[in-house]
Amino acid sequence: MGKPSVWSSNRFWRRSATWVTGVSAVLLILLTFDSMSQMQMGTAQDIKNKVDKRIPSPVVINYKIDYQLSRKRGHEVPIIGGMDANGNSKYEEKEKFFGRDNYSEKEARELIHLGKLTIQAKNCMDCHTLLGNGAYYAPDLTKAWLDPNWNTLAPAYGGKEYAMATFLQNPPAMAMHERKMPNLGITKKEAKAVVAYLKFMSAIDTNGFPRNFGKIKGAVDAWK
Amino acid sequence: MHGSNLYEGQKLALKYFTVAIVLFGAQLLFGLFAAIQFMYPNFLFGVLDFSINRMVHINALVVWLLYAMIGAVYWLLPDEAGREVVGIKLGNLAFYVLTAAVAVVVLVYLFIQIGPGKESTIWFITEGREYIEAPRWADIGIVVVVLIFLYNVYATVMSGRRTGILAVLMADLIALAGLYLAGMFYTDNIAVDQYWWWWVVHLWVEATWEVYVAAVGGYILIKTLNANRKVVEMWLWIEVAMMFGSGILGLGHHYFWIGTPEYWWEIGALFSALEPVPLVGLFVHVLYDWGKETGKGNKITNVPAFSWLTVETFGNFLGAGVWGFMHTLPQINLYTHGTQWPAAHGHLAFFGAYVAIMIAAVYLAIQGKAGLKELKMTKAGWWAITLITVGVLLMTVSLTIAAYVQTMVERGMYGATWEGFFAAQNNEWFWQGMCWRLVTGLMVIVGYIFLVYDLLTCTKKQPVQESEAEVAAAAA
């Protein structure tokens, strides 16, 4: 018998495990610092200066929001306040949200604060997905604000934000499918806040998820 | 009954296992309700809506697995350390506090369900964040109980034998407990919210829980096959290196689409693609030891536990490894994220990686409680393992077919809109997948009934053999 091989030494593998774990954990922590700095919510000042933020300031509810293919990035990106010739957000075109397009940073933040709390308090995530995470019983809400379906309903309610808020306050009354959303006792104030959150969420840069949102209209009717 | 020969820690383990198996039943029941609602949306509408059934389904799963995990540690801890658990009275108190808290949380889930959009709802009713919906007060309670548990483990090992298995468990449990804190704060920024939420969910199920399973699996191999400890522990360290080496940065595959920087595409793709590798190691390890030990003439001293461990290693590889890999690359995940794909993967992965090994641990405890040298498979035990395993496998296949349809129709054809979602949900093949999911779910429930019956009766149905106590008495 020669010398015992290092490959069958428990000590060697214990040390390897410790090193691999330690290095991975340190890398994760460093990457997390970088990610967090890129994921801080933007400010009204950023919008004024036309600075793109992955998570923009809630004052985006004052602006028209769109989701268009970016040639540079190779996938769709949120377009806030109109698109310039290079395919970037102009942060210029406003859009009335419940009759106003001048929500201050403070007002907008308060709205989305109530919206997020309501989204959690009503357990939205256990039927829907948000940013693709949650349950798979109801549609994904990441870009719900931009869903063509609301555009069809909008005129009858005087704007899609009103249609969405009316729906949220008593969903069964506006049921659009046999699998309907229950009445969760959402108040008028909460409904407005949730709609604000959905509009804000549609402006989050999700690296192109979901793909081709609302672009393909009735390409193939799969179930008939 | 020879329960008196047990350590107090092991008696506490039996309590944890009992609650675990009851909650397992609750998980299946509420899963059944949710599965029915996919086909008949008016079922229990307005009474127990899908969101509630689904929440109880996944929360019961997580909590029963944690109960069983704590139970298994209390079972093996005195055996490995060679001494009684330190702080057992505190441990017992923690058990009753935790169980009372779980009961209150479940009652609130079922009867209050949701609250107004206020901080008080987050504190007392629900946090509304998938898997960790438990309200804030319960979070704090859980932290206290887990601290007691960690104290017991550390104090016992420090004053007893320090085996490799215990060393891995000590390091792993502290990481597991610490990660829970990442899910205990509120933020308006949903991207940051989900970033930290994944620290809990991913770093539990794809890192710390996997390492836990490797350690407990090693213990079960030693117990059921009399496998060589040095070899088992060497494998264990290799597993730890591979699991943490792939799983920690594999977290990146949840950071493709939630407002995170693009570099997570490459990091997540690379490391999560490596995650199946240690899972191959697990089943190779079990098969190797099985062949080696039975070849030497060693008998399997607990056939049900060993069988469930074998199911675990293959289920873990297939469910977590293969089904996870199938949709882990960003090019594919762009279309599968948020569809039935993760549901298909999740069912087989949770079953394969965690449920099966926890059942194995319960069988080990059942044998120990009865003081039997050998535990053979009974007919009921055979039906239980067959119905549950085949049921979950077929359920996964059904969900996978539904997932294909959803991905192609909703995502590929319709671009993920409301219209696209329901076009996919109404698709005949999707519907058939959901039908088969319900049928296979019922199979699992029948298997569960066999399992409970077998756990209660199997020790009385063994061929006549000398118990350990009788051998000891004869020797004395």
User: What are the pLDDT digits (tens) for A77-133?
Assistant: 999 999 999 899 999 999 999 999 999 999 999 999 999 999 999 999 999 999 999
Does the CB of A152 have a partner CB in chain B at under 8 Å?
A: no
Report pLDDT for B467: 58
Closest CA to B236 of B171, B174, B185: B171
* CB atoms inside a 10 Å sphere around CB B131: 18
**Residue pointed to by tokens 């996964």:** B396
Beta strand residue intervals within B59-188, DSSP E:
none
Residue A190, CB-side half-sphere exposure with 13 Å CA sphere: 19
φ, ψ for residue A32, nearest 5 deg: -65, -40
Smallest Cβ distance to B234: which of A8, A133, A221? A8
Q: Chain A residues with CB inside 8 Å of B189's CB?
A: 39-41, 55
Torsion of CA B397, B398, B400, B404, to 10 degrees: 140
Q: Best mutation site among A19, A179, A189 for testing chain B: the one with the most B CBs within 10 Å?
A: A179
Which ipTM did the prediction report?
0.95
Amino acid at B310: T
- For residue B398, is pLDDT > 80? yes
* CB atoms inside a 10 Å sphere around CB A78: 22
Cβ of A121 within 8 Å of Cβ of B417? The answer is no
Cβ of B338 within 8 Å of Cβ of A16? The answer is no
Q: Which of residues 126-155 of B touch A (CB under 8 A)?
A: 126-130, 133
Report pLDDT for B465: 64
Q: Is residue A34 part of a domain?
A: no
* CB atoms inside a 10 Å sphere around CB B324: 24
* Dihedral of alpha carbons B401, B402, B405, B411, sign: negative
Band of residue A220 on the pLDDT scale cut at 50, 70, 90:
very low
Cβ–Cβ under 8 Å, residues A61 and A96: no
Band of residue A222 on the pLDDT scale cut at 50, 70, 90:
very low
- Give A76's strand partners: A69
Amino acid at B47: V
Torsion of CA A203, A209, A211, A213, to 10 degrees: -40
φ, ψ for residue B41, nearest 5 deg: -60, -15
Q: Is residue A207 part of a domain?
A: no
Average pLDDT over residues B320-326: 96
* Dihedral of alpha carbons A208, A209, A210, A211, sign: positive
pLDDT digits (tens, 9 = 90+) for A194-214: 999 999 999 999 999 999 888
Distances (CA, A) of B167 to A196, A198, B78, B156, B302: 50, 47, 14, 12, 25
Q: Which of residues 180-199 of A touch B (CB under 8 A)?
A: 180, 182-185, 187, 190, 193
> What single-letter DSSP state applies at residue B82?
T
Cβ of A116 within 8 Å of Cβ of B188? The answer is yes
Cβ of A136 within 8 Å of Cβ of B339? The answer is yes
Q: Is residue A222 part of a domain?
A: no
Query: Shortest Cα distance from A155 to chain B (angstroms)?
Result: 18
Domain that holds residue A91: 44-202
Q: Chain A residues with CB inside 8 Å of B215's CB?
A: none
Query: Shortest Cα distance from B360 to chain A (angstroms)?
Result: 26
- For residue B476, is pLDDT > 60? no
* CB atoms inside a 10 Å sphere around CB B177: 16
Q: Is residue A135 part of a domain?
A: yes
Query: Shortest Cα distance from B8 to chain A (angstroms)?
Result: 31
Q: Which of residues 22-51 of A touch B (CB under 8 A)?
A: 24-25, 27-28, 31-32, 34-36, 38-41
Q: Chain A residues with CB inside 8 Å of B186's CB?
A: 117, 120
Amino acid at B206: E
Does the CB of B54 have a partner CB in chain A at under 8 Å?
A: yes
Cβ–Cβ under 8 Å, residues A207 and B256: yes
Q: Best mutation site among B48, B417, B427, B437 for testing chain A: the one with the most A CBs within 10 Å?
A: B417
Q: Is residue A211 part of a domain?
A: no
- Across B248-261, b (16+ Cβ under 10 Å) vs e yields bbbbbbbbbbbbbb
Burial of B296 (0-12, 13-18, 19+ CB in 10 A): exposed
**More confident: A223 or B467:** B467
Cβ–Cβ under 8 Å, residues A77 and A88: no
pLDDT digits (tens, 9 = 90+) for A18-51: 999 999 999 999 999 999 999 999 999 999 999 9
Continuous H helices in B85-135: 88-111, 119-124
Smallest Cβ distance to B117: which of A149, A183, A190? A190
Report pLDDT for B466: 57
| Cα distance between residue B216 and residue B218, in whole Å | 5
Report pLDDT for B1: 41
Distances (CA, A) of B118 to B106, B141, B194: 20, 21, 20
Closest CA to A21 of B172, B215, B166: B172
Q: Best mutation site among A207, A213, A220, A221 for testing chain B: the one with the most B CBs within 10 Å?
A: A207
Smallest Cβ distance to B343: which of A136, A143, A185? A136
CATH number at residue A187: 1.10.760
φ, ψ for residue A83, nearest 5 deg: -115, 135
φ, ψ for residue B147, nearest 5 deg: -65, -40
| Cα distance between residue B207 and residue B176, in whole Å | 9
Amino acid at B359: I
Domain count for chain A, please give it.
1
Report pLDDT for A217: 57
Q: Chain B residues with CB inside 8 Å of A143's CB?
A: 416
Which are the contacts of A15, defined by CB distance < 8 A and separation ≥ 6?
A: none
| Cα distance between residue B365 and residue B363, in whole Å | 5
Report pLDDT for B415: 86
Distances (CA, A) of B8 to B12, B21, B22: 6, 20, 22
Give the pairing type, strands A129-130 and A133-134: antiparallel
Average pLDDT over residues B214-233: 95
Report pLDDT for A151: 92
Cβ of A34 within 8 Å of Cβ of B339? The answer is no
Report pLDDT for A221: 45
Distances (CA, A) of B315 to A40, B129, B287: 40, 27, 14
| Cα distance between residue B52 and residue B47, in whole Å | 9
- For residue B328, is pLDDT > 70? yes
Report pLDDT for B444: 98
Cβ of A213 within 8 Å of Cβ of B426? The answer is no
pLDDT digits (tens, 9 = 90+) for A3-22: 788 888 999 999 999 999 99
Average pLDDT, chain B: 95
Burial of A199 (0-12, 13-18, 19+ CB in 10 A): buried
| Cα distance between residue B438 and residue A133, in whole Å | 23
Report pLDDT for B232: 93
Q: Is residue A33 part of a domain?
A: no
Cβ of B261 within 8 Å of Cβ of A54? The answer is yes
- How far from the centroid of its chain's Cα atoms is residue A113's Cα? 15
Distances (CA, A) of B76 to B156, B355, B468: 12, 18, 18
**Residue pointed to by tokens 């948020």:** B338
Q: Which residue of B has its CA nearest to A120?
A: B128
Q: Percentage of residues in chain B with pLDDT exceeding 70?
A: 97
Q: Which of residues 196-225 of B touch A (CB under 8 A)?
A: 197
Structure pTM? 0.95
Does the CB of A110 have a partner CB in chain B at under 8 Å?
A: no
Cβ–Cβ under 8 Å, residues A168 and A194: yes
Which are the contacts of B233, defined by CB distance < 8 A and separation ≥ 6?
A: A10, B163, B164, B165, B218
Report pLDDT for B225: 94
Average pLDDT over residues B210-219: 96
Report pLDDT for A214: 81
| Cα distance between residue B211 and residue B316, in whole Å | 12
Q: Is residue A124 part of a domain?
A: yes
Q: Best mutation site among A9, A18, A24 for testing chain B: the one with the most B CBs within 10 Å?
A: A24
Pairs across A and B, CB distance < 8 A:
265
- For residue B2, is pLDDT > 80? no
Q: Chain A residues with CB inside 8 Å of B424's CB?
A: 222
Q: Which residue of B has its CA nearest to A218?
A: B414
pLDDT digits (tens, 9 = 90+) for B58-101: 999 999 999 999 999 999 999 999 999 999 999 999 999 999 99
Smallest Cβ distance to B45: which of A119, A182, A204? A182
Beta strand residue intervals within chain A, DSSP E:
65-70, 75-80, 129-130, 133-134
Q: Could you tell me what percentage of chain B is helix, strand and coil, using 3-state DSSP and rounding each to the nearest 5?
A: 80, 0, 20
| Cα distance between residue B361 and residue B219, in whole Å | 10
φ, ψ for residue A97, nearest 5 deg: -125, 110
